[in-house]
Amino acid sequence: MRRLPRHLITALGITWGAIGVQSTLVAAPTVKQALELKPVQPDVQCDNPTDAQEIAKARIEPISEPGRSGWQVFDSQGRLLRRFVDTNGDKKLDLWSYYQNGIEVYRDVDADFNEKADQYRWLGTGGSRWGKDTNEDGTIDRWHMISPEEVTAEVVAALRDQDVARFKRVLLSTSELKALGLGKERTQEMADRIQAAARDFERFSRSRALVKPSARWIHFGATRPGLLPAGTDGSSRDLLIYDNVAAIVDTDGKHGQVVIGTLVNVGEQAWRVIDLPSGEATGGFYTSIIGREGVTGNVDQGVDRQMQDLLTELEKTDQALTATSTPRDLAKLNRQRADLLEKLAKQSVSQKERETWIRQFADTVSAAYQSGDYPQGVERLRAMLSSLRTDTDSTDLIAFVTFRYQTAQYSHNLQAPNADFAKVQEQWLSDLKKFVSRFPKSADAAEAMLQLAIAQEFAGKEDEATLWYGRIAKDFPNLPVAKKAAGARRRLSSVGKTLSFQGTRSDGTTLDLTSYRGKVVLIHYWATWCEPCKEDIKVIKKVQDQLGSRGFTAIGVNLDHTKAAMTQYQQSQRMNWPQLYEPGGLESRLANELGVVTLPTMLLIDKTGRVARRNIHSGELETEVTRLQK
């Protein structure tokens, strides 16, 4: 087990210097000391600065939240690196969190509060694994949560490292098999397969038949999962399974396939294997799937040699794109990437696979053009669109490519020398309307309608904007954008109406607007990346100081992607009015309930709880608040 350094256990877990508990005992630990604390599990990818200058620019701050205390470390850009927390008030750490690019990717947890980690969780961009360590020796005993994709990655890693214990952690156990409620014959069959897999794994992995020491997992392959209903062969419960699952691995630039076999769901978010991995399908639950074309064969089966070469080149191109920033190289690499995606589409053996590559082509080429990294992008999209046939290709695919072409064309027109912006905007709105008329049921039609609604709202044509927002909510009720559209309609018609508004404060407590009756309230939607928002905050602070005692308060609604960004800025600016935060940024519940599509957005509420202004500017704030207070 990777033991915690004793001086850090003392400095971080028992005494809390700067936050007021036994404050005369020990001062806060240094950033360097805090960064010396590492995750218990070895395969965690998190930010770990080693450069002395970067460490010198980092800072450590106390955590002071209701029922919680501890320390948190920020890098020079204000992004979280570490959080060490006492969650139960016993002055001992029980939660150690690690971050990458400001996102929590892993945590060690002491769930029984005995100063030893017994749970290990991967989070955010780090995945979804949740391991339990019953004897607290630093080794995961079982996976409480693990996705099908992560199971296949674990099997590949176990083969690569010849790690029998790692394989057995994702192998169905005897107790889990009994809990599945299968019939007697099926249970015995699976028990035999599990026993054989456990017995033969060590010998099999030593043969290096499938996975070499340099191999790495890159992709999960399977058809959709299937449900084996209760009553089949005497089973008493429904059973969710993946049959003939494969993992694609890269070995020194060459792609190959490892057949994992059948994956069985043993809990809401936990999966297990039942077979020894192999180079060919071994037999699953469904005979129709067992015999399907293209499953059996050698290690490279299912991944055509030409496809392998193209995938290898695509991966190399993507790596090169992340490593360069010169316009010439970016243009060359984006052209190369577009070529590869077109070739992959042509090599595809199924229409579904072909459409997947074409969609990726359209998405990435359009984005690269709009960012200025692929000047020929519009022409490539036009050519792709011309190659699609209305008699064979799906309407959804044609709509997908069309919308990305139109978006890139709009960007192209805006960037033209001496562009007439009014005419460009008029043409864009006309193109959007034609798209909606031609593809009214496509998912992109909802986005086109949203662009039309926003444009009309900003142009002051609120009746037209309301119609477009309403159509989105009616025609696409199951899409996330429908909530945004319904909220926008509510906001546009809110003046003179009592506003129902609740949210979660930064300290975790609930705020309800009804508790502010008798006061004039400003609701300010903002984010740290929005420079005009920061200017508004200066004005709000001034008005709060001048008129707060007469019954005025602001309520901030932060739409940053991380709570840490808000907290840091709030503290640095000494913003003494409530701040609400819920995950999701511009797509969060708080943003969608009032259809907030741009920042800053400010609503002014009178003393009776009714909306007085729904789009007030900070320059009008002092005058309007004074008027409403009278």
Look over the chain and give the mean of its residue pLDDT values, rounded to a whole number.
85
Q: Which residue has the tokens 């960007």?
A: 411
Banded pLDDT at 10 (limits 50, 70, 90):
very low
Q: Between 249 and 555, whose confidence is greater? A: 555
Q: Which residues pair with 603 in a beta bridge?
A: 523
The encoded tokens of residue 277 equal 């991995």
How much is the pLDDT for 630? 86
Q: Which has the minimum average pLDDT: 185-199, 208-222, 345-359, 424-438? A: 208-222
Residues 292, 304: Cα–Cα separation, whole Å? 17
| pLDDT greater than 60 at residue 369 | yes
Kindly report the number of other CB atoms within 10 A of residue 22's CB atom.
12
Q: Where are the domains of the chain?
A: 6-144, 146-303, 308-368+380-388+396-408, 502-629
The encoded tokens of residue 321 equal 């794109």
Residue 353: exposed, middle, or buried by beta-carbon count in 10 A (0-12, 13-18, 19+)? middle
Banded pLDDT at 287 (limits 50, 70, 90):
very low
Residues 551, 519: Cα–Cα separation, whole Å? 5
Kindly report the number of other CB atoms within 10 A of residue 387's CB atom.
12
Q: What is the pTM of this model?
A: 0.54
Q: Which residue has the tokens 């001496």?
A: 418
Q: Please answer whether residues 535 and 497 qualify as being in contact, where contact means their C-beta atoms are separated by less than 8 angstroms.
A: no
Residue 458: exposed, middle, or buried by beta-carbon count in 10 A (0-12, 13-18, 19+)? exposed
Q: Which amino acid is at 477?
A: P
How much is the pLDDT for 203? 80
How much is the pLDDT for 307? 77
Per cent of the chain over pLDDT 70 is 90
Instruction: Give 486-512 pLDDT, tens digit per residue.
Output: 999 999 999 999 999 999 988 888 999
How much is the pLDDT for 291? 34
Q: Provide the total of helices (H) and of strands (E) in the chain, helices listed first.
A: 21, 20
DSSP 575: -
How much is the pLDDT for 436? 96
Instruction: Give 121-165 pLDDT, tens digit per residue.
Output: 999 888 899 999 999 989 999 999 999 999 999 999 999 888 999
Name the class of domain 502-629.
Answer: alpha beta
Q: Between 111 and 301, whose confidence is greater? A: 111
Instruction: Give 599-623 pLDDT, tens digit per residue.
Output: 999 999 999 999 999 999 999 999 9
Q: Which amino acid is at 119?
A: Q
